[in-house]
Amino acid sequence: MMNIRAVAMLALLGAGYARGQFVWPKPEYHRHDPGVYREDPFITKYRAKFFAVFHGDFKTFEDAYKEIQGMVARDPRDARALVWLGNGQTIQAGLLLAGGKTAEGVALLKTSRQTMRRAVALHPDDYGVYMMEAATLYVQGQYWPDKYLPASNWETLRDDCEKLIRALGPRIGQVSVHVRGETYGELGVAYAKLGDRTKARRAFEKIVQNDPQSQYAEKALKEIQKLDQQGGVKTSSQGR
């Protein structure tokens, strides 16, 4: 892997793959009511370290990935470490793709999904785990052409986002712009990929309604425009 790192970095960044999230958040987008939604410090720590790769900082990512591998080796039932192991496997799979090793990348991508599914099965109600799975599945859609991603990729992303929305209910207005924007943004992308433009539009419109002056709203409006350009809609049953 290390011998293709420089080539992979140029390919990833040059192709626009620095988009590790629906919108790269400003610091103020992380403000939230701690009584409603509190991000696990473990999650925020490794998100910063792993997502440094999208800025070309491979060393920070690689060091953190080794730490996570060590945690899983010591405790294979550590759900938080497992979900980050799956994220790291996704990034490594992207580097394999960028380095021309597509078959190896596809195999590792499948492994990453299995790893994250194990993590969620261990702690199915821990939003820090299942929403990290969601974020990683979204990243897979940024790295890989659709032909390499099964429908289950988008179905799981959809289900994870809907699960958080149900869990929060009306309190979703008290969480951060980042959490709202990523949840509805990724949900909209999942529905669009599954062919349900009606529900995709509804998700993107939620962003515009909730945070109209944010960069999330700007991105959501662009996604709505793309849906309009595609023309027509499919029903919810067809999207399933």
Q: What pLDDT score was predicted for residue 77?
A: 97
pTM more than 0.95:
no
Compute the radius of gyration of the chain from its Cα atoms. Answer: 17
Q: Which CATH number fits domain 151-240: 3.30.2420, 3.40.30, 1.10.3470, 1.25.40?
A: 1.25.40
- pLDDT per residue over 29-81, tens digit each? 888 777 787 778 898 899 889 988 877 788 999 999 999 999 999 999 999 99
- % of the chain with per-residue pLDDT over 70: 88
Rounded distance between C-alpha atoms, residue 97 and residue 104, angstroms: 8
For the cut 70, the answer to whether the pLDDT of residue 158 exceeds it is yes
The total of other beta-carbon atoms located within 10 Å of residue 13's CB is 15
* Mean pLDDT in residue range 180-196: 96
Name which of 99, 193, 199 is nearest 141 in CA terms: 193
For the cut 50, the answer to whether the pLDDT of residue 10 exceeds it is no
- Give the DSSP letter string of 44-72: HHHHHHHGGGGGT-HHHHHHHHHHHHHHH
| Confidence at 154, pLDDT banded by 50, 70, 90 | very high
Q: What is the DSSP letter of 40?
A: -
Name which of 198, 117, 193, 200 is nearest 160 in CA terms: 117
| Confidence at 95, pLDDT banded by 50, 70, 90 | confident
Residue 199: CB partners within 8 Å, gap ≥ 6?
A: 191, 236, 239
Domain residue ranges of the chain, discontinuous segments joined by +: 1-9+41-149, 151-240
Q: What pLDDT score was predicted for residue 20?
A: 65
Rounded distance between C-alpha atoms, residue 27 and residue 229, angstroms: 33
